Structure 1
C-alpha cells in the first residue's frame, strides 16, 4: 500500500503541473459544432459545411434603425466609434471594393452576361419593339450626351444585369454608409470581424459588453433607436458565460451539499477534507486526461463533469461509514474488506460511462472519458491515500444512527407489494406510450432568446441565405460545374412563386463558356438589328463597339478583389472533382425544403444539403442504437453481478431496470420529449443505480452501508437535479432523467434486498 500511495502521489503531482499549464493556455472550447458527430455525407459536403462555418465564425453584424435617415446616420457614427474603442478583439476594418470597380472589371464581357429574363426577351421580342425600346433609352434625359455609352448597350442590358446581381440584398451605399429601408425604419448596417476564432476564450473578447455600451451611447444621440446584433462570436461568448455560471452552480452547489451531509453524518472536519480530496483529485485528473486525449476540453464537458461530484464521493463516504461502525478495525484492514464492493461498483460505473462514449459525438466521448477517469482517480485516492491520512476516530452521530437504522424499518417486497409494483409498471408503460421523440439539433442550442430573436431579425431584414440548407454542385471540370449550376437555376426559376426569394451562385457572375458563347452570339445578332433600325430612324450608320474576344474565365474573376462573394461559393477541386455551392434566400419551412429536394433529385451532379435535418436524423439513429447498447449494458452488468453473487444478482439489477422504466414513464406523463440525451442518462443510471444494490448485497443489512448509500444518493440527486436547471435543453433532459431515475432506484433498492430467511 505504501508503494501504491507513492506512485499515485507521483501521478497526481504530474496532473497538478499539467493543470497549471492548461489554465494558462486556455484550451477550453465553446464551439457547439465540436459536439456534433461527423457527417455521414461525403468529403465534399463536409468541405462545403466547413467553408460556410469558417466564413461566419468571425463576423458580427449590427443594424441600427431609426424613423429618420439623418438620425440613423448620427447614431451609427456614435455607435461605430464607441464599439471600436470598447472591443479590443475587433480587427481593423478592411477597405472593400467599390461597386464601380466591379462594373469596370466586368465591362469587357458585357455582351455575354445576361439574366434569364433578358435572354428570353431577346429571343422572343420583335425587332420593332426592341428598336422602340432603344430609342426611348437614347432620348431619356442625358441620353443624347452619351451616344458612345448607348452604342455599347442600346437595350440597357448592362444596368438590368447589375440590378439583378445586387437585388438579393436590400443594402445600398448612401452618404458613406450601408443603408436600407424596412419595417418603416431607415437602417444602417455596421459590421466587425474578430481577430481570432469566435470560440477563443483567451483573447480578452467582451463583444456583448462593448455592443451594449455603444448602444447606450447611441441612444443618447438618437432616442428610440432600434439595435439588432447578430454573429457567431456573440453566441459563443454567451455560451461561455452561461457554462461558467452552470459549472459554478452545479459544482459548488453539489459540493456544498456533500459537505453538509458528511458533516451531519460524521461531525468531523477530517472526513469532509478527505472526501473533498478524492473529489478534487478526481476532477483534476479527469480534466488533464481529457485534454491529453482530445487536445482540448469543451465547456459542456465541464458542465457535465461538474455533476461527477455527486458520484465520485461515494468511495470516501463508504470508507468513513464503515470506520464509524467499526472503530477498532485498522484503516488498511477496513479498506481491504470494502475493496470487492468498491471495485465492483467502480467497474459497473465505468462500463456505463464507456457505453456512453460509444456514441459518435466528440462531446459525449469527452464526457465519457472525463467521467470514467474522474471516478477511477477518486477511487484510487480513496484506496491509496485515505487510510494513510485517516489517523483519528469517527465518532457516532444521531444523524448517522437514524439514517443507518432506517434500513431495518424499510419494507421488503413481498405479497401485495408485488401487485403495487405491477400497477406502477403499468402506469409507467402508459407514460412511455405518451412519449414523442424529439431529435432536433437545436436541443444543443443554449443562446439567450433575445440573441436568437435578434439573429433571426437580422437574417430576415438582410435576406441572408441559410448556412444549413444549400445545393452542392459537383463536376469533373470547372465548366461542367458551371453548366450544372445553370441547369439547377433553370429548375429553381420554374418553382411556384413565393417558394424561394432568390439564390446565389458562381454562374451568376461567371456563366459557363457555352452559355457565354451563345449569349454573345444572341446579343451580337439582336443588337446589330436594333442599331440598324435606330440608324434608319436617325439617318446614321450605327455600329456596336467590339467586346473582349475571349470568354470570361472563372479564375480571372476570382483573382479580382471584387469577387469576395463568388470566392465564398467556389470550393475548387477536391477528392470528388470540382464543386461549388448554391445558397438560397427566403427558404422557409420543411415543405419548402422538401420541394427543393424533390424538384432537383434528377439533376446530375446536384445534391440538396440540409445540415439541420441531417444531424437531427443522425441523433435519431443514435438514439435508437444507444437504446440497443443500453440493453447490452444491462446484460453485461447482470453477467458481472452473476459472477459475484450468483442467483441473488437480480436483486441488485432489477431495481435499476425498473427505475429506468419509471423515469421514462415520468417524462411521458409530464410532457417531455424523448431524445438521445435521455437514453444517455439511462446508460449512466445503469452504472450508478446498480451500485446501491451491490452494497446492499455485500453488506447484509449493515446500517453503515445504507448510510453511505443514502449520502451518496442524496448528493447524486442534488448534482444531477441542478443539471436539470441548465439552459441547454439537452443537459436539462439529461438532468431530469437522472433526477427521476436516481430517486426511484434509491427507493427501490432496499425493497429487493434479500429476506432474512434467504441469507
Structure 2
C-alpha cells in the first residue's frame, strides 16, 4: 500500500520542526513585548467579589504598603544609632532611580503642626476636656493650668497664655502622638527599648518589590549601605521590614527549587531510561519530548497570560515526569515487539495514549477552573506541555525513533515476575482481603483529616526575616497589620462623624489588649459637628466670666477683651480635610482618605490597625457599628480557598462519573468501573495517609487529587488496552518512577502549598501504581495483532 506524502515519516518531521520554530518565534516576540516572570504572591490569589469602595481601599493599602521599607538601627549608644541612620538616609537618597520618600523624623514637625492646628484651637478639645466643660466646672482646668504656670517643666509661655489661658491646646497636640515611645532627636525618629535606642528610617521603592529587576537594584543599594554602616558602627544591630525582603526570599527559594527539582528529576529520568534501554537514542528522544513540551508550555502560558508566575515554573518542573510517559510507553512496546516499525508501534499504542491525553487534559482543565490565576497558569502550562509531548510522539518519532533497540534481556521478564507477584492467582482474593483492608485504612485515616486554608502558607519567609520584622514592629508599637477598618459615608462630614463614633470603640479595644494601636483620621481632624460642639463648650471659658477666670490664674484681666474677640472671630471657621492634607502631617495621612469619584459614590476612610491580638473579638465590635467594616483580605481569601476546596472535590466526583461514562463506550460498564475505581481508591488512600500522619489538607491537596485522577487513570487505561502486560507494566513502572521523582521532590519544598501538592500527588501516584495491575484481572484478553 502506497503511503501518502502527508503520512510519511519525513513529512511529519518537517511539520514538527516547522511548528516548533513557529512557537519559538512567537515566544521570542512575547518576551520582546513585555512578557515577564511574575514573583508577586498576590498575583496568584483569587479575586474577591467586593464593592468598588472596598476594592479601592484594598488597592490603596497594598500600593502604599507593598513597596515601603522600614529599617531599625539599634545600638546602646543613641548617637551611634542617629549617625548610622543619617548615613543610611544619605546612601538611599543618592539612589534616586531606585528609592523615593527616604525619611525619618523632622525637627520642624512641631512647627508645622502648630501652624495647622493653632488657628482652630477653639474647635479642639480632648475627651476629658469635653466632659469637664460639659459640667460647667472650670476648677479642674484652672488647677491644671496653674500647675503648668508654676512648674519648672511646664510648657506655658506668655504668648501661649495670651491666646489660650487655660492651656487647652497643648493637651490636644499631645493627643496626636501615636506612641509615647517614639520621639524625634536630631531629625531622626527614635524608639527606645530597655537600654537600647533604635533609629527608624523609612523608604519607598520606585518600582514594585515583586519586580525581579527592582529587587536586584534595591537589594544592591541596601546591601552596600548596610555594609558601610557595619564597617563604621560594628555594634549596630540592623532590623529590616518590608515586602521586598519577603519577595526576595520567595524569588530565591523558587529559583533554587526550580534548579534543584528540575535538575534532579531530569538526571533521574535519564538514568532510568539508560538503565532500561541501554541506548542513547531513547535518552535523546526523551530529551526532545521534554524540551518540546517545555517550549510549548512556556509559549502558550505567555500568549494567554502575558507572564509566567514563579510558582508556575516550580510546579512546571513536574512536567518532566509526566511528558516523558509517552516516550516510555513507546519504547517499552518496542522492547516487547522488536520487529515492529516506529509507525506501527505508534498505531498500536495510539488509542491508549490518546485516551490518556484526554483524561490528563480534563484533569488540568479541572485545575484551571479554580479561581487562582497561579493555578490556572499551572493548568495551561502542564496541559499544553503534554500536548507538545503527544505531538512529538506522533510527528517526530516515526522517523527519528525508528532505530533498533538492544535485544531485551531482564527488563520484561522482571516486569512479568512483578505482575505474577502482585496479582493474586484467585481474583476473589481482592474482594475478600484487599478491599476490606483498604476500606478500614480509608475510614480510619479520613476520620482524622483536618483542614487549614490560611493563605499565609502560600509564602513562608525564613525565620531571619520574620524575626527581624517582628522586632521592628514591636518597636513601632505594633506596626501595621494586613487587616484594616473601612469607614464609609454619604458625605465628607458624615464620614468624619462615623470615624469619630468609631474612636471610643477602638480605644476600648486597645485598653482590652485586642489591638496594639490604630491610625485614624479622626485623631487628627474632628468632624464639623464635633468642632462646632467643642466651640460651644468653650463658651463657658470665653463668656462673661472670663475676667474672673483670668484673675484666678493671676493673669491680667485686660486680656479678656482680645480673647473674646478671637473667640468670636473663630465662629464658623472649621478645620477641613483639604487644609489638613496641605500640611506635612496631612500628606502622610492623605492615603487614608478615599474621596467620592466616578467609580464609587461614597466617601471612605481607612483606619490602619497594628498589633492585632484578638481578631474575633475585634470583629464583633466592628460588626455592631453601622457604616464600618473590618477588611480582612487574608481571612476572606482563606474562606474562598476553603469553599473551592469543597467545590474541587465535587468537581472531581463529577469528573470520575464522566470518565466512567466515556470509558463505558469502549470497555463496557464493568471494566470502565474498574478503570475509574483505581484513581478513586488512590486518591482516598492518599487522603487517609495524610490524615494518619497529621498533615492538614487545603485546596492544593485537592488540586493534586485531580492530577492523581488524570495520571492514575492512564495506568488503568494501559492495562485495559494491553496486548502485552509485561510491556505495559514496565512502562507504568518507569512512568511512576519519573512522576515520583518530580512530585516526590516537590514534597520537600519550603513553600507549604507546593509541599502539599507534591506530597499528595506522590502518594496518589504510588497507590495508583500498586493498584493499576489489578485491572488486568478483569480485562478481556485481546486478539494478537496480525
TM-score (norm 1): 0.93
Alignment partners' CA distance in 1, 2:494 and 2:479 = 24
Alignment partners' CA distance in 1, 2:631 and 2:214 = 34
In the alignment, structure 1 residue 261 sits paired with structure 2 residue 272: yes
Deviation at 1:519, TM superposition (A): 1.1
Larger deviation, residues 16-25 vs 321-330: 16-25
Aligned to 1:559: 582
Larger deviation, residues 94-103 vs 105-114: 94-103
Q: Assess, with a 3 A threshold, how the Cα gap between structure 1 residues 143 and 373 changes in structure 2: closer, same or farther.
A: closer
Q: Assess, with a 3 A threshold, how the Cα gap between structure 1 residues 206 and 13 changes in structure 2: closer, same or farther.
A: same
1:703 to 721, 726, 735: 726
2:73 to 64, 68, 74: 64
In the alignment, structure 1 residue 533 sits paired with structure 2 residue 542: no
1:717 to 740, 744, 748: 740
Alignment partners' CA distance in 1, 2:477 and 2:104 = 23
Alignment partners' CA distance in 1, 2:505 and 2:85 = 41
Larger deviation, residues 615-624 vs 640-649: 640-649
Aligned to 2:606: 581
Aligned to 2:362: 351
CA deviation string 1:473-522 (max 9, x = no partner) = 11211111111111111333344533333322122222211111111222
1:631 to 650, 653, 669: 653
Aligned to 2:412: 401
Alignment partners' CA distance in 2, 1:204 and 1:670 = 39
Deviation at 1:703, TM superposition (A): 2.2
CA deviation string 1:196-242 (max 9, x = no partner) = 11111124625556545544543444444322111001111111111
Larger deviation, residues 653-662 vs 110-119: 110-119
In the alignment, structure 1 residue 123 sits paired with structure 2 residue 127: no
Larger deviation, residues 498-507 vs 740-749: 498-507
Contact 2:38 2:210 in 1 (8 A): yes
Alignment partners' CA distance in 2, 1:461 and 1:144 = 28
Aligned to 1:416: 429
Q: Assess, with a 3 A threshold, how the Cα gap between structure 1 residues 601 and 689 changes in structure 2: closer, same or farther.
A: same
Q: Assess, with a 3 A threshold, how the Cα gap between structure 1 residues 101 and 86 changes in structure 2: closer, same or farther.
A: closer
Contact 2:336 2:412 in 1 (8 A): no
Alignment partners' CA distance in 2, 1:569 and 1:721 = 47
Larger deviation, residues 131-140 vs 37-46: 131-140
Deviation at 1:137, TM superposition (A): 3.0
Aligned to 1:479: 493
Aligned to 1:15: 23
Contact 1:80 1:214 in 2 (8 A): no
- Structure 2 residue matching 1:180: 3-state secondary structure: strand
In the alignment, structure 1 residue 497 sits paired with structure 2 residue 512: yes
CA deviation string 1:716-746 (max 9, x = no partner) = 0010001001110111011111111111110
Aligned to 1:76: 85
- The correspondence of residues 63-462 of structure 1 with structure 2, limited to 5 A, is 63-77=72-86, 89-91=98-100, 93=102, 98-99=108-109, 100-124=111-135, 126-141=137-152, 146-168=157-179, 170-203=181-214, 205=216, 207-208=218-219, 211=222, 214-398=225-409, 400-413=411-424, 414-418=427-431, 419-462=433-476
CA deviation string 1:519-548 (max 9, x = no partner) = 122224325545641236445222323565
Alignment partners' CA distance in 2, 1:755 and 1:500 = 64
In the alignment, structure 1 residue 606 sits paired with structure 2 residue 631: no
Aligned to 2:43: 34
Alignment partners' CA distance in 1, 2:726 and 2:166 = 96
Aligned to 1:515: 530
Contact 1:26 1:201 in 2 (8 A): no
Alignment partners' CA distance in 1, 2:88 and 2:590 = 31
Deviation at 1:6, TM superposition (A): 4.2
Deviation at 1:578, TM superposition (A): 1.3
Alignment partners' CA distance in 2, 1:186 and 1:81 = 20
Alignment partners' CA distance in 2, 1:82 and 1:146 = 41
Q: Assess, with a 3 A threshold, how the Cα gap between structure 1 residues 462 and 642 changes in structure 2: closer, same or farther.
A: same
- Structure 2 residue matching 1:423: 3-state secondary structure: helix
Contact 1:28 1:299 in 2 (8 A): yes
1:542 to 555, 559, 578: 559
Larger deviation, residues 65-74 vs 661-670: 65-74
Q: Assess, with a 3 A threshold, how the Cα gap between structure 1 residues 661 and 539 changes in structure 2: closer, same or farther.
A: closer
CA deviation string 1:677-720 (max 9, x = no partner) = 11111111000000001111111343222222111110000100
1:45 to 32, 49, 54: 54
Alignment partners' CA distance in 2, 1:284 and 1:374 = 8
Alignment partners' CA distance in 1, 2:83 and 2:465 = 25
Alignment partners' CA distance in 1, 2:717 and 2:735 = 14
- Structure 1 residue matching 2:48: 3-state secondary structure: coil
Aligned to 2:662: 640
Aligned to 2:4: none
Contact 2:719 2:775 in 1 (8 A): no
May I ask how many residue pairs the two structures share in their alignment? Answer: 756
CA deviation string 1:601-648 (max 9, x = no partner) = 232211122222222111111111111111111111212221221131
TM-score (norm 2): 0.90
Contact 1:407 1:750 in 2 (8 A): no
Contact 1:473 1:484 in 2 (8 A): yes
Alignment partners' CA distance in 1, 2:171 and 2:38 = 47
Larger deviation, residues 234-243 vs 490-499: 490-499
Q: Assess, with a 3 A threshold, how the Cα gap between structure 1 residues 669 and 127 changes in structure 2: closer, same or farther.
A: same
Alignment partners' CA distance in 1, 2:646 and 2:153 = 71
Larger deviation, residues 290-299 vs 152-161: 152-161
Contact 1:267 1:397 in 2 (8 A): no
Contact 1:356 1:680 in 2 (8 A): yes
